[in-house]
Amino acid sequence: MPSISPRVDIAFKKIFGVEENKDLLISLINSVVGSEDQVADIILLNPYNPKNFRNDKLSILDIKATGNDGKRFNIEIQISDEADYDKRALYYWAKLYTEQLKVAEDYSTLSKAIGIHILNFTSIPEVEKYHNVFHITEKDSGLIYFKDLELHTIELKKFADNPKEELTDIIAKVKNSLDMWVAFLTRYDLLKAESLPATLNNKNLKKAIEVLDVMNFSSEEREAYEDHLKWLRVEANTLKKAEAKGKAEGLEEGEAKGLEKGKTEEKVTIATKMLSRNHSIEDISELTNLSVEEIIKLKN
């Protein structure tokens, strides 16, 4: 059986989103956020539950947690690129922030909400670094006034996108704890818990490798994992074809217009496949960003 990839969301959540591995999630969060947001303990708000896969194999498996000081975190790994991902990231942050407020509670009870989005694609080509942090700032002065909003993007391909790289090449890139976790997510195949080099000799990393090595899926989990993996491959292949078609059309009618048309056709193709598999219109809308009305037209 081929090794399990920690970049597939089901495996990622089974490693970092269970009670017995809270120490790994704490380490991952602390490697991303600043010194003022470090956590000593967390409460998982939506722990891993294999029963979720019976009827929702293409669900978005994010990890929600509350820190010991009340701050809230949403950690999500996203393998394939999709249109308007930035809007969805902001929407998920808004839900994380607003769902804190219970009836009759005051706004003062709201705590900072931090979104951490681990992406297996390049989302910000204008910037070379793989970890970017976003706040709301004043246009001219750069002043951070609305301090409760913070979004992190971690673009894995900017760290390691060469399958021919050897362990020594990866080690040379590791300068901090976030580099260590990104090395695990991208080149886990090169890491052995019993023989880690000094740069990567960390108890949390060892545990994560061991969890991945002995990870067993039930039949339902294995089916869900394979479905997610297959879906990601189909989606990536469809996107490549759509981009190629869009570029070709762009030579005649403008590259931007052609790319947009190709992305729209890709969404329709994916939506049509999901309809044929009897997925709900709401799930299709969330995963393709097509409106409910557009999907109903396709169905009819």
Q: Cβ distance 150 to 135 under 8 Å?
A: yes
Q: Which two tokens stand for residue 122?
A: 């390049």
Tokens 């607003």, located at residue? 98
Query: 94: closest CA among 77, 114, 76, 109?
Result: 114
At 23, give phi and psi (nearest 5°).
-60, -35
pLDDT over 90 (residue 84)? no
Q: Which two tokens stand for residue 146?
A: 């609305």
Span 192-216, pLDDT tens digits: 999 999 999 999 999 999 999 888 7
Q: What is the pTM of this model?
A: 0.74
pLDDT band for position 57 (cuts 50, 70, 90): very low
d(CA 84, CA 92): 13
**Per 3-state DSSP, what percentage of the chain is helix, strand, and coil (rounded to 5)?**
55, 10, 35
Percent of the chain with pLDDT over 90: 48
Task: Give the residues across from 205 on adjacent strands.
Answer: none
CA angle 2, 215, 165 (to 5 degrees): 50
pLDDT band for position 278 (cuts 50, 70, 90): confident
Span 223-264, pLDDT tens digits: 767 766 666 566 555 555 555 565 566 555 555 565 666 677
d(CA 5, CA 185): 8
Number of other CB atoms surrounding residue 16 within 10 Å: 25
